[in-house]
Amino acid sequence: MFLIPDVVVRFFHRMASPPHFYAFTARLMPWLVVIFVMLTAAGLYGGLYLAPPDYQQGDSYRIIYIHVPSAWMSLFIYVVMAIAGGIGLVWRIKLAEIVAISSAPVGASFTFIALVTGSLWGKPMWGTWWVWDARLTSELILLFLYLGVIGLYGAIDDKRVASKAIAILALVGVVNIPIIHYSVEWWNTLHQGPTVTKMDKPSIHVTMLVPLLLMALSFKFYYIIAMLQRARVELLQRERNAQWVKNMLQEKQS
């Protein structure tokens, strides 16, 4: 542990304590919301108003500012969920289990948004709402993985056992993540190749790139906010008989 600064270790130790996590996230929330709103406002202003129309796609390309960040988030959240699940599985840390299950609905939502906005973009540009192309199909499988995690968790009454089960499912499903990412390179698909995450220079103009990156950052903050809101409910439900919850209720009543 000598590689990790003492402050960081202590922070994680304290965050793993349920009453501290509950109080800390409440204090953190307004700051997260302020940052999220500012990033979103700047990103939308840049993307919907300042950025020029695409020379081939006109204004329809503006769907990119939610489609691409959502698709990135669908992969990012899945990896976070699998890692948190893995940590919970190995060290039985309650908070890691809660982060894993609280990520699932947010990840499923972003996957759904990526699929639907992709469809709404595909109709005018490709002339079809849907094709069974590698990128689209693997993203749809991701949605089913998220829904599987949510369903499995709900089906098992003992939430510690349920957390083990979803962690295993999430870890097995990680195999789909590189498939989604490289699908546009491995198979000849209708979906276009990457324009931003290319190793050399991104093939997108800076007036279009900046709002896209702002929206990507804004969605990261949104994920933290939505995941923590879920986590607070989940934590209260699991800790309903704990002394700190009783103390908190009494303080509210008096």
Q: Is 100 in the site for another protein (CB under 8 A)?
A: no
The DSSP letter of residue 56 is T
Given candidates 10, 13, 23, 59, which one binds another protein under the rule CB under 8 A? 59
Q: Which stretch binds another protein (CB under 8 A): 63-71, 91-99, 148-156, 186-194?
A: 63-71
Quickly tell me which residue has 């607070």 as its tokens: 232
Quickly tell me which residue has 């300042």 as its tokens: 50
Q: Is 72 exposed, middle or buried (0-12, 13-18, 19+ CB in 10 A)?
A: buried
Q: Is 113 in the site for another protein (CB under 8 A)?
A: yes
Q: Is residue 203 a contact partner of residue 195, using CB atoms and an 8 Å limit? A: yes
Site string for another protein, 168-207 (x = CB under 8 A): ----------------------------------------
Q: Is 19 in the site for another protein (CB under 8 A)?
A: no
The DSSP letter of residue 63 is G
Quickly tell me which residue has 């669908």 as its tokens: 74
Task: Please state the closest distance from residue 149 (CB atom) to another protein, in A.
Answer: 16
Q: Is 50 in the site for another protein (CB under 8 A)?
A: yes
Residue 247's SS3 state is helix
Q: Is 116 in the site for another protein (CB under 8 A)?
A: yes
Given candidates 10, 13, 14, 123, which one binds another protein under the rule CB under 8 A? 123
> Is the Cβ of residue 62 or residue 135 nearer to another protein in the bound state?
62
Site string for another protein, 227-246 (x = CB under 8 A): --xx-xx--xx--x----xx
Scored b (16 or more CB within 10 A) or e, 206-235 reads eebbbbbebbbbbbbbbbbbbbbebbbebb
Nearest-CA neighbor of 84 among 65, 70, 97, 67? 97
Residues within the interface to another protein (CB under 8 A):
48-53, 58-60, 62-63, 66-67, 70, 105-106, 109, 112-113, 116-117, 120-121, 123-124, 222, 225-226, 229-230, 232-233, 236-237, 240, 245-246, 249-250, 252-253
